[in-house]
A and B are shown apart, each in its own frame.
Chain A
Amino acid sequence: MDQIARYFFDFSLMSAYWPDILRGFLITIEMSILTVLIGVPLGLAIAILRLYGFGPLNALIILYIDFFRSIPQLVLIVLTYFALPSFGLVLSPFTATVVALAIVLSAFSEEIFWAGINAVSKGQWEAGRSTGLGFNQTLAYIILPQVVRISIPPLTNRAIGISKGTTLGSVVAVPELLNVTSSIQSNVANPTALTAGALLFLALFLPFVRFTRWLERAYAHPRS
């Protein structure tokens, strides 16, 4: 028991490395937020573009979605970081990770939004259009609010899942939380730092999960 405490909860170690751990944590938060802020709106934009139904463009969109949903995130991060420079695009490890994850999230969110758009009945379009609202107005005021509501639960799961992928940034040496804590672990041969990391991940994602539950409730239709 005592051994476990010393091994996983060595407070002197934790306080010694605290600044590094905290910096890693902040980078993880930053990357997670950026990934969601870029990936989800991009997914929505692509879904809307797909709705306009320009034939060749739609084929391209579907290719994009299927490709980025299939490719492992780790591979994509590595490719973004190591392959793009040969096309003249040099990204920092941080940016490369966020770009890769945001693109993956956009592909998954597009599918979620697209399913949501199709779940709204044709009658909603007809009701809007029959009062003289244009296509864009009907989309903006009638369809999308319903789509967003339908999409929040699956979107939440995806966003959290992919944000956890920020830990993959360690392969291209982003000093994010997992990277920092696991290198401390190997330096001092004690996994306390990883424990701290795990707790911080919980501290990050638990409120996020709770927040999205609140969102779900806030967007739900009132029941009779």
Chain B
Amino acid sequence: MPASADAIVAIDDLRKCFGNVEVLRGINLKVGKGEAVAIVGSSGSGKSTCLRCINRLEEPTTGTIRVGGQEVTGAKVDLNLLRQRIGMVFQGINLYPHMTAVGNVTLALRKVAGLGKAQAEQKARHHLDLVGLAHKADSYPAQLSGGQQQRVGIARAMALEPQVMLFDEPTSALDPELVSEVLNVMVRTKEMGMTMIVVTHEMHFARDVADRVVFIDHGAVLAEGTPEEILVSPQHQRIRDFVTRSRA
């Protein structure tokens, strides 16, 4: 585990309550630069909530989160500036249906990063090219397959050159034959040195691509380690059960 000083993301005793249900019960997690961390765990264990606290789509109840050394939590944070540095890819993809692929990518480049029209367009096309969709830049989401849509989703987040990318089950909504094209893009994203936190049910991805696997159970980190340690020869019965179920 990286020392806290050079961690891109550092989560310290994160707790989150919905009403009086404590969904996150003291999460600690550090992610180093260029590291890809897979978060796994059974449904309802709090993986999405944890991820969404990092860019404050959910408001943490207590605890601190730092991204790039800067505290995310706290009243004086410029949320929009912060979010520009944290990319997010959704299970539901959430492309803007009324804009073309390139329009989806340029929007934040223009309105948030403040690039001019030509510059934003050029950058957007570059990032669509990186996900293999240069030829679909002018298509609307409805004209793209689910896998292509999600690759646009990745390009949209990556174009802002974030310090970390958050993926919340990016392939769960896709037909099985479309999963690999998205996973391949994620592998390339990692190879470009991007820091990534990936909530996933894709055990192949967790095992073959992630540097580290974190197993969350009932709102707390039950175990973390190399994919080998967590997924191949797990120490906990709960994780063994989970891995067996995932294989089935």
Contacts and interface: CB of A to CB of B under 8 A. Distances in A.
Interface in B112-141: 112, 140
Contact of A132 (B90, B97, B142, B160): B160
Contacts of B55: 130
11 contacts: A123-B94, A127-B88, A127-B90, A127-B95, A128-B107, A130-B57, A131-B157, A132-B112, A133-B111, A141-B107, A223-B143
Contacts of B86: 130
A127 B96 contact: yes
Interface in B122-177: 140, 142-144, 153, 156-157, 160
A126 interface: yes
Given A126-B57, A126-B90, A222-B143, A133 B108 contact: yes
A141 B87 CA distance: 19
B41 to A, nearest CB: 22
Contact of A222 (B57, B95, B140): B140
Given A141-B111, A221-B97, A130 B88 contact: yes
**What bracket does the count of chain B residues touching chain A fall in?**
20 to 34
Contact of A145 (B83, B87, B98, B160): B98
A134 B78 CA distance: 11
A195 interface: no
B80 interface: yes
A65 B105 CA distance: 38
A131 B90 contact: no
A143 to B, nearest CB: 10
A133 B142 contact: no
Kindly list the 7 A-B residue pairs having the minimum CB-CB distance in the complex, ordered from nearest: A132-B84, A131-B108, A127-B94, A123-B94, A132-B112, A130-B88, A132-B83
Interface in A116-134: 121, 123-124, 126-134
B92 interface: yes
A222 B140 CA distance: 7
